[in-house]
Amino acid sequence: GAGALRCGAAIGACARTRHWERALELLRRCQAESSRPGVVAHVAVLAACTRGRQSEAALALLSRMQLSALEADVVACGAAVAACDRAGRWAQALALLGGLSWTRLQPSVVAFGAGISACGRAGKWEWALALLGEAERLGVVLTRVAFSAAVLACARARQWSAALALLGCMRHRRVALDVLTCNIAINACSGRPWQQVCGLLASMQNQAIEPSTATFNALISSCHRGHSWAHALALLRVLLSSAVPPDAITYNAAIGACEAGQQWELAISCMRKMQLGGCRPDVCTYSGLISACGKGHRPEVALALLGEMERRAVAKNIVIYNAAISACALAKLWEEALGLLAEARRGGEGPDLVSHNAAIGACAAGLRWELSLGLLAALRDAALAPDAATRTAVLGACGAGRRWQA
């Protein structure tokens, strides 16, 4: 009647403005006044609750619809599956989609996409692919969003071959790829040979897909993991010559690649480019730089970087101290190593096992066996259990000092 129409209009207005609490309250009031709001009003509230991330409220409303024998339509079921996705209820999403097979309704591509996303969030990538296949069997026209959800499900489970196969499937079905989907696939290939990952950049360019900052970040990180600092820097040069803006993650990944390749001078050069480009070096930047200087046997540069951190008010963490102490140990600078260990103790985080092992190694290299034993005692006082590296360093210190009875 007229009351139901007015109620539905008011609920719709609230839903469109994302006022889910008001929409839900109006629905309850209409039911209390026997206005009997219909499916459209319920769907509007379902959608409002889902957009407002009120998944529990949306699912409770769907249950009440079923109890009152109010037949849900495709839109309502799609909203309910989306609510399951946001609530992390992948099994319930599958049950809702499966339950539609007993009705005259066929799930929409939106419902399938939400179900695929729910399975992906739960790490159930096989179920995500099964839903994609079921949608295709039912003749649902799959969109880029649905495919992207499936690619993301595979990426989260590190199923790189499945993610790449989905990209091929999209091309075969003439579903337009976008940079976000390609970035997801690139991240899925994390840990694969860098040549294979970088091949995806050429594929993107062949399809006139402009890479983003995130694309280059993932590719440079792949070169870092693959110990290919030269290709990481080549990618950085390509990025800097393009209109794509680099960020701190870009430079940090390049510095990490230089650190892994023991190219401390190139790592410093990356930081200077970073500063010229208007990016502020952070703790990750300095961690990579100090570690690179340590591996390059340039402790004086590592210590200068610590001073630069203080001047720039970049807070030091235990990773920074560990890198600096290790740099001093490699150069046999035991006094500087002990000074850094003491400074770390004064900080809030405090030194860990790696810090002590590096300092013990520095004392061993400086033939200060008695200090190594003192650090071993300090390690136990700090309730840190010595490991094989600790014992090797202490034995080396005592052996160098010919103190076998220590």
Where is pLDDT greater, at 332 or 53? 332
Tokens of 218: 């993932």
350 pLDDT band, cuts 50/70/90, is confident
Q: Cβ(250)–Cβ(214) under 8 Å?
A: no
Tell me the pLDDT tens digit for each residue of 259-307: 999 999 999 999 999 999 999 999 999 999 999 999 999 999 999 999 9
Confidence (pTM)? 0.71
Q: Is 247 left (phi over 0), alpha (psi -120 to 50) or beta?
A: beta
Assess whether pLDDT exceeds 90 at residue 308: yes
Tokens of 26: 């109006």
CA torsion sign for 276, 277, 279, 283 is negative
SS (H, E, C) 340-367: HHHHHHHCCCCCCHHHHHHHHHHHHHCC
Question: Per-residue pLDDT averaged across 234-260, rounded?
Answer: 95
- The DSSP code for 101 is G
155: helix, coil or strand?
A: helix
- Name the residue among 311, 307, 306 with its Cα closest to residue 287: 306
- The DSSP code for 69 is T
Question: How far, in Å, CA of 105 to CA of 344, rounded?
Answer: 65
Tell me the pLDDT tens digit for each residue of 164-174: 899 989 988 88
On average, the pLDDT of the chain sits at 82
Please tell me the least confidently modeled range out of 152-156, 294-298, 384-388: 384-388
- The DSSP code for 100 is G
Tokens of 278: 């208007």
Question: Per-residue pLDDT averaged across 376-405, rounded?
Answer: 75
Assess whether pLDDT exceeds 80 at residue 66: no
Question: How far, in Å, CA of 94 to CA of 323, rounded?
Answer: 49
Q: Which of the residue ranges 1-5, 93-97, 220-224, 369-373 has the most confident prediction, judged by mean pLDDT?
A: 220-224
Distances (CA, A) of 287 to 247, 254, 293, 392: 17, 13, 10, 26
Tell me the pLDDT tens digit for each residue of 220-237: 998 898 888 999 999 999
Task: Give percent above pLDDT 90 in the chain.
Answer: 35
Tokens of 41: 């009003």
Q: Cβ(177)–Cβ(143) under 8 Å?
A: no
Q: Is 402 left (phi over 0), alpha (psi -120 to 50) or beta?
A: left
Where is pLDDT greater, at 158 or 104? 158
Question: Per-residue pLDDT averaged across 180-197, rounded?
Answer: 82
| pLDDT (0 to 100) of residue 11 | 58
Question: Per-residue pLDDT averaged across 89-113, rounded?
Answer: 73
Question: Per-residue pLDDT averaged across 328-342, rounded?
Answer: 90
Ranges of H-type helices in 241-317: 248-260, 264-276, 283-295, 299-311
Question: How far, in Å, CA of 400 to CA of 34, rounded?
Answer: 92
The CB-based long-range contact list for 217-221 (8 Å cut-off, 24+ gap) reads 217/247, 217/249, 217/250, 217/253, 218/183, 218/186, 218/187, 218/190, 219/186, 220/250, 220/253, 220/254, 220/257, 221/190, 221/253, 221/256
Tokens of 161: 């071959």
Assess whether pLDDT exceeds 70 at residue 91: yes
Please tell me the least confidently modeled range out of 180-184, 258-262, 391-395: 391-395
Question: Per-residue pLDDT averaged across 387-393, rounded?
Answer: 82
Assess whether pLDDT exceeds 60 at residue 310: yes
Question: Per-residue pLDDT averaged across 206-231, rounded?
Answer: 90
Question: How far, in Å, CA of 46 to CA of 76, rounded?
Answer: 7
Question: 318 Cβ partners below 8 Å, 6+ apart?
Answer: 344, 347, 349, 350, 351, 352, 354, 355
Question: How far, in Å, CA of 309 to CA of 317, rounded?
Answer: 11
Question: How far, in Å, CA of 82 to CA of 8, rounded?
Answer: 22
| pLDDT (0 to 100) of residue 70 | 43
